[in-house]
Amino acid sequence: MPSVEVLAASCVATRSGWQPLVALVPPNLLVLDRFGTLVDVPIEVQQVGVDTITFLGSRAAFGPFAPETRVLESDGGTCRLGALVDAGDVRDHNYEATISGVAREFRNVSDYGLWHGLRWLACASTEEELVVRCVESSAPVPRRVRSVDRAGIRYLVIPRATLADSVRADWCSFVLELGRALFMREHDDRLEIPAMAFVLGLWYVSALSATGTGFRFAYDTIQHSSYLFVHHTADVAAGGAVPGSTAFRRPLTEKVVRLNWTDPSWNPLVNGFIVVGS
């Protein structure tokens, strides 16, 4: 039975959108089958311990993995992320861009992944509402979300119920409005998303792709990034190989889970990358 180790905080593509693995009970994931088609299949998730958070980023995907995670390269080879970070040669590796195709497969979109990312950013939260500081106070506030301005800083107060309703009604529009309100830096014409809130970036670019706008991820440096920057582009990349842009460890540990599945030809999509079982 093929299996791969990833982090419980890693986000997988599902019919309900990008969701952290901790949220999936029972887990059904979108995987690429032998024909390169996205199919919805059950996968077993097993907790196996803790390990260092290891980020991998390209122009088209970004997120945290376990050091033992193996990611598929566009030439058919694989790389173990811990070894990739140690070697420091991420730009010599190419990966398939997948996100623009994934958004088309979202059906019954759930707010859990968004809530999970927002909670990480929140400066105050309850089970029902949370407050997040905006990068700037110039972008319009999404409908049904309240803003509070203090000393030139804008905060958004986001009720869970509003998030759930808005996502259910029109997830693309809501995610785009929310992303711009929270993260847009007008001067640089880009979104600035703290790296640990990467799931919000995955949702945002999926919404962009679904509405026919392209995107490009960018980072602080090749060796490390505290941010996931999102740039808008005119063309929607249909796929293809893109070089790695950054790979690094953070001095934090996180729960590791093992994904087990039955068909050796399946490859799950994790954080927008194609992972490989062994």
Interacting residue ranges for other proteins, rule: CB under 8 A: 52, 85-86, 88, 91, 123-124, 126, 128-129, 131-133, 136, 146, 148, 150-153, 155, 157, 192, 194, 221-224, 226, 247-251
In the complex, least distance from residue 127 CB atom to other proteins, rounded to whole angstroms? 11
134 to 128, 152, 178, 196, 207: CA distances (angstroms):
20, 11, 10, 16, 20
Half-sphere exposure of 43 (CA within 13 A, CB side): 33
- Tell me the closest approach of the beta carbon of residue 129 to other proteins, in angstroms: 5
Q: Which residue has tokens 């079982």?
A: 277
| CB 73 to other proteins: min, Å | 20
Of 124 and 238, which CB lies nearer to other proteins in the complex structure?
Answer: 124
**Would you say 224 or 258 has its CB closer to other proteins?**
224
The label of the residue with tokens 């995955």 reads 202
Q: How far apart are CA 207 and CA 28, in angstroms?
A: 21
Which residue, 126 or 265, is less far from other proteins as judged by CB? 126
Q: How far is the CB of 52 from other proteins (least distance, A)?
A: 6
Q: Rounded to 10 degrees, what is the CA torsion of 135, 170, 108, 57?
A: -30
The DSSP 8-state label assigned to residue 106 in this structure reads -
Q: Which is nearer to other proteins, 130 or 276 (CB)?
A: 130
Tell how far CA 132 is from the center of its chain. 19
Shortest Å, Cβ 157 to other proteins: 4
Name the residue nearer to other proteins (CB basis): 91 or 168.
Answer: 91
Distance CA 135, CA 39 (A): 37
Alpha-helical segments (H) within 80-144: 81-87, 99-102, 112-121
